[in-house]
Amino acid sequence: MAHEIDTTTGKAAMAFVGQLPWHGLGKELTEDAPIEVWRKEAGMDWEIKTSPVLYKADGSEDTLEMPDRRLFYRSDTNAALSVVSGKFKIVQPGAPLEIYRSLVETTGFKLETAGCLFGGRKFWALARCGESIKLLKEDEVKPYLLIASACDGSMSTVAHFTSVRVVCNNTLRMAVGNNGQRASVRVPHNTDFDPEAVKEQLGIAGEVWNNFSVGATSLAKMKIGRDEAIDFVAQQLKDERFEGMNREEMLEGSVALRNIIRLFEGDGKGSSMKSAKGTGWGLVNAVTEHFDHWSGAKNGDKSRAFERAHITDKAAFKVTFANELLKMAA
């Protein structure tokens, strides 16, 4: 199942407002549905319980306990979730929704999607937090606040602003990885999750979204040709093999460069829209799509191996790329 929506209890653990998700799963709710209804329909009305990790060694009748390890399991089905360090701090499935309780009541946030993935090991809640913007009166971008966590160590608890509507595991990965210049808070699982502290660190949603809106609009108005795009991407990739090469040789020798330009020139999602076609916004989207969906070492390809070795923080690379392009647009 590409969506990885949790179906442990026999129904899809997801709720949404508005557009039906691509996978067709989940319970549609109204905008004014209370948090308690969201918790139930999104399959988040259970708790993570803990148990010691016990085992029997060969030839022994004694039951032994694994030191500094705990097993997490679901309170509703008793299904095992994960084995983690004894220092792992639990974030309960309902926590992402709870953080929105006061935001919905006092700031006009509107919950849009929430749910559980991988049998309940990951969970998220997403809310609209402002008015959408239209780049060049065509490409609509909506502002969301995402709060997500996991109980298996696969990700920290995150809270940040995004333009990605999360409805499945792939879109969750996109939203977490595509943070751009927006405010973000990450809480590692060896630290207590404090909802009030997270809200304070995030700052004012309107200000954050306005800053993003200005940058995105500038990039959408920035015209950039094929040669200029190749030169700029190559400069940011910093691949030492490019030295002395012309543009076609660089494209031939680098999967990353070739794929980004391919996405930029029409194969990327939304690349044919007026705001993206031949613009800085389109180039940023091509880079984002490459690193979110195409990047990684594969089949011994030297270019992919170089990318994996030298671009270890893809999120930071995307932020730097957008910032450098914004300097050109200024």
Q: What is the pTM of this model?
A: 0.66
Give the per-residue pLDDT at 180: 47
Of the candidates 25, 1, 30, 3, the one whose C-alpha atom is nearest the C-alpha of residue 14 is 25
Give the per-residue pLDDT at 131: 66
CB atoms closer than 10 angstroms to residue 82: 19
Q: What is the mean pLDDT of each run of 10 residues along the chain (330 residues)?
A: 86 94 94 94 96 90 90 96 94 90 75 96 90 69 87 89 81 66 70 78 58 79 94 91 92 90 89 88 88 57 56 75 85
Ordered DSSP codes for 218-251: HHHH-B--HHHHHHHHHHHHT-GGGTT--HHHHH
Q: What angle, 0 to 180 degrees and rounded to 10, lies between the N-to-C axes of helices 314-329 and 280-289?
A: 170
